[in-house]
Amino acid sequence: MALGLSVDRSSPVPLYFQLAQQLEAAIERGTLTPGSLLGNEIELAARLGLSRPTVRQAIQSLVDKGLLVRRRGVGTQVVHSQVKRPLELSSLYDDLEAAGQRPATKVLVNTVVPASAEVAAALGVAEDSEVHRIERLRLAHGEPMAYLINHLPSGLLELDTGQLEATGLYRLMRSAGITLHSARQSIGARAATFDEAERLGEEEGAPLLTMQRATFDDTGRAVEFGTHTYRPSRYSFEFQLLVRS
Amino acid sequence: MALGLSVDRSSPVPLYFQLAQQLEAAIERGTLTPGSLLGNEIELAARLGLSRPTVRQAIQSLVDKGLLVRRRGVGTQVVHSQVKRPLELSSLYDDLEAAGQRPATKVLVNTVVPASAEVAAALGVAEDSEVHRIERLRLAHGEPMAYLINHLPSGLLELDTGQLEATGLYRLMRSAGITLHSARQSIGARAATFDEAERLGEEEGAPLLTMQRATFDDTGRAVEFGTHTYRPSRYSFEFQLLVRS
DNA sequence: GTAGTCCGATTGTCCGGACATACGGATTGA
DNA sequence: TCAATCCGTATGTCCGGACAATCGGACTAC
């Protein structure tokens, strides 16, 4: 097959990664059609001038992403389903932007407060110690969409209101050198209180979608604790899961 | 350190898997405390009589699970946070059982119907072709908790009402030899219609948590499409995410 | 005292090979 | 005709080694 696979040994990009990218691109592009066999690893390695472990590493990374399926004695084939991207730690801002909605943010509160018991527990800091508190209203097409309350440990990040209105919190954290690693989420629903309804332009008692999330960086340190409410008519959580085998 | 690590070469269980399990157990047990270094791979391999790639494979699997963090030039250490288990494709039945709630199921509908356009699209079958339809009421402590509507392609599974009341749908599928692979989920909220409220013992207009999910097996074939409504006072979605690096 | 440099330690990448295991089709036997 | 067996094929596991890249601390020079 003319997949045009090739690797550049002078590049600093790892060989297995180059191969994985090319395979993923071929799947995305439709050159590798769902259900089609990938050709055996030995032969593929020989064709590319790579060793089998390297080829396997590339393939494995795509299997982990859910793009390929390996079956012993059969071969490796492209998953034939509409499942494309697995779950990511999503950012509302990025989600909206990807959907072409041009999100806007209004920062309502950006201050330092003593940590409540709940916040302290979530962030793993002492109660009443100083934490940043920001409250933001997220809009799409001029309509309120979500009300976001976040707490961050102090000293982690400069929280500039202007920047917060121009981009998302996660992006700010990443550009400050923080590598996000994992998060604990809880998604529920409840009736809007009067204040909540007011802020989001809903009626009191209207259903709201709620999300609480504690985010951790790669050292396991809590870097953010958020309590968000969404207008369910404007937003729902969409994601793909992979089963752990 | 006296971690008591050892592998059984006569076991059919892969060596890297044995090691991974023992390391995970040690972390769970607290023998390996958060933040502690794991000792370098070379020495660990020598101590266990394994090769370095095997040890690396074990460690990598735990890194993928989010239990360990590797840093070049430093070593591998246990993540120090409360993040323990990453996201799984959760089964409401298993969730409830794990929480010690002794779930009960009432099967209200178990029949074969022509596929609606929505169902046909989700399952990847022709419109009006035959699909199974089941409607179940899930109770915990005698209280209604969720109303579950599921559609399955015909010929996939024997859907015995008795079995459906005794266990969960996912467990049934797994024991029928279906390997679940991935799912596409959408979680939202809305106000209960009169009928929905009736079924769940809520008031009309009360907030409901909704979930739609299409599940795929390892060949990418859709095996189930579910439309569920939950009482938010009784249930919320809890899960951990890992960031894809 | 401070900044730059060097160096040991540790993980990251890659190789080539060996044998085990499971799947599916072909062959063989009843 | 149908079922059990054999066998080729492809992935799964494991080994031992080599060199590169990066981190952090120690040392050195200014």
Cβ B119 vs Cβ B152: under 8 Å: no
> CB contact, 8 Å: B29 with chain A?
no
Do A183 and B64 make contact, defined as CB atoms within 8 angstroms? no
Q: Identify whether residues B189 and B113 lie together within a single domain.
A: yes
Pick the last residue of a domain from B78, B112, B131.
Answer: B78
Residue A129 has what pLDDT?
93
Instruction: Verify that A69 and A107 share a domain, yes or no.
Output: no
Shared domain for A120 and A23, answered yes or no, is no
Residues A221-229, mean pLDDT to the nearest whole number: 92
- Domain with residue A52: its CATH number is 1.10.10.10
A10 assigned to some structural domain? no
Same domain for B60 and B110, yes or no, is no
CA–CA distance, A242 with B145 (Å, rounded to integer): 26
Last residue of a domain, one of A78, A99, A118: A78
Tell me: do B24 and B53 sit in the same domain: yes
Which H/E stretch holds residue B95?
helix B92-98
Q: Does B41 share its domain with B134?
A: no
Say whether both B73 and B102 belong to one domain.
no
Q: Find the residue in B nearest to A192 (Cα).
A: B207
Higher pLDDT, A241 or A203: A203
The nucleotides of chain D lying under 7 Å from a protein CB are 8-18, 21-24
- State the Cα–Cα distance between residues B74 and B64, nearest whole angstrom: 19
Calculate how close chain A gets to B57, using CA atoms only, in Å. Answer: 11
Least CB–CB distance from A218: residue in B69, B124, B235: B69
Domain check: are A224 and A128 in the same one? yes
Q: Could A83 and B216 be called an inter-chain contact, meaning their C-beta atoms sit closer than 8 Å?
A: yes
A191: CATH:
3.40.1410.10
Q: Could you tell me the pTM of the whole model?
A: 0.82
How many domains is chain B partitioned into structurally? 2
Question: Within chain A, where are the H helices?
Answer: 15-29, 41-48, 52-65, 92-98, 117-123, 161-166, 169-175, 194-200
Number of other CB atoms surrounding residue B1 within 10 Å:
11
pLDDT attached to residue B141:
86
User: If you count them, how many residues does chain A have?
Assistant: 245
Within 8 A by CB and 6+ apart from A64, the residues are A242, B64
Whether B242 sits inside 8 A of A89 (CB atoms) is yes
Average pLDDT over residues B70-79: 87
- Reported as a pLDDT band with limits 50, 70 and 90, residue B86 is low
Q: Span B134-149, mean pLDDT?
A: 92
**Is the CB atom of residue B14 positioned under 7 angstroms from any atom of strand D?**
yes
For residue B202, is it within any domain? yes
The vertex-A154 CA angle with A218 and A199, nearest 5°, equals 100
Residues A140 and A227 in one domain: yes
The answer, yes or no, to whether residue A73 has pLDDT greater than 60, is yes
- Asked if the Cβ of residue A177 lies within 7 A of any atom of strand D, the reply is no
Q: For residue B13, count other CB atoms closer than 10 A to its CB.
A: 10
Tell me the per-residue pLDDT of A177-220, one tens digit each, with 9 for 90 and over.
787 888 888 999 999 999 999 999 999 999 999 999 998 887 77
Across-strand partners of A198? none
> Per-residue pLDDT tens for B8-23?
888 888 999 999 999 9
Domain presence at residue A133 = yes
What is the spatial distance, in angstroms and rounded to an integer, between the CA atom of A164 and the C1' atom of C14? Answer: 44
> Is the minimum distance from the CB of A86 to strand C below 7 Å?
no
pLDDT surpassing 60 at residue A166:
yes
In a domain, A221, yes or no: yes
Smallest CA–CA separation between A78 and chain B, in Å?
9
The SS3 assignment for B115 reads coil
Looking at the structure, do residues A20 and A98 belong to the same domain, yes or no? Answer: no
Domain boundary at A29, A48, A78, which?
A: A78
Write the CA distances from A52 to A42, A46, A56, A63, B32, integer angstroms.
Answer: 6, 8, 6, 16, 34
Q: Which domain holds residue A37?
A: 15-78
A35–chain B Cβ distance below 8 A for any pair:
yes
For chain B, the average pLDDT equals: 87
* Closest residue of chain A to B82, computed from CA coordinates: A220
Nearest chain B residue to A83 by CA: give it. B184
Q: Per mean pLDDT, which range of B83-87, B162-166, B230-234 is the poorest?
A: B83-87
B15 vs B81, which has greater pLDDT? B15
Same domain as A190, residue A96: yes
B98 pLDDT more than 90? no
Same domain for A129 and A216, yes or no, is yes
Q: Report residue A87: phi and psi, to 5°.
A: -65, 140
B224 forms bridges with which residues in the sheet? B215
